[in-house]
Amino acid sequence: MEKTLVIVKPDAVSRGLIGEILSRYEKAGLKLVAAKMVTPSEDLAHKHYPTERREFIEGMGRKSLETYQEQGLDAEEVLGTSDPHEIGLKIQSWMIDFITSGPVMAIVLQGSNAIIKAREITGHTIPAKAEPGTIRGDYSDDTPVKANAEQRPIHNLVHASGDKTEADFEINLWFTKDELQS
């Protein structure tokens, strides 16, 4: 059975959405096999959002640039650069600050196609583009433009691993083997 990591971020925790979020995954047939509430250390946050993952960093920068273009805004004017890597590094820094700002609920879910299923339930990374019925579509409407203007990451409530390699890495980062239940 496939496993995936989901992190209920500080914005969702502070809004009291842990139960609702967990319920959506369980109702879809995903089984909870590990859970803990923790305020992540900066070290853990940097390992979770590493600057060495150039593709990840530049991907965040490109998403921001695309949103600026869609809205007819000048990214260089707002962010001081139009380089996707530089923008991605700014966002990564804000993500570190945010995920360490308060408690998160880290959970491991297991089931058939757990990674894809969890991401479908979670919704589009940019909440304003998330479909109604998804967690992000129902509980957030944040955008990169708003977040960048406030020099913070997008408040999108939940992190869900993107693929098997990422899920395996993240599960081992957040949990010991003894913490995983069968």
- Which residues are annotated as catalytic? 159
Residue 124: partners with Cβ closer than 8 Å, 6 or more residues away: 130, 131, 134, 136, 137
Neighbouring CB atoms inside 10 A of 3's CB total 22
Distances (CA, A) of 77 to 65, 74, 92: 12, 5, 20
Tokens read off for 59: 């991907």
Overall size of the chain counted in residues: 182
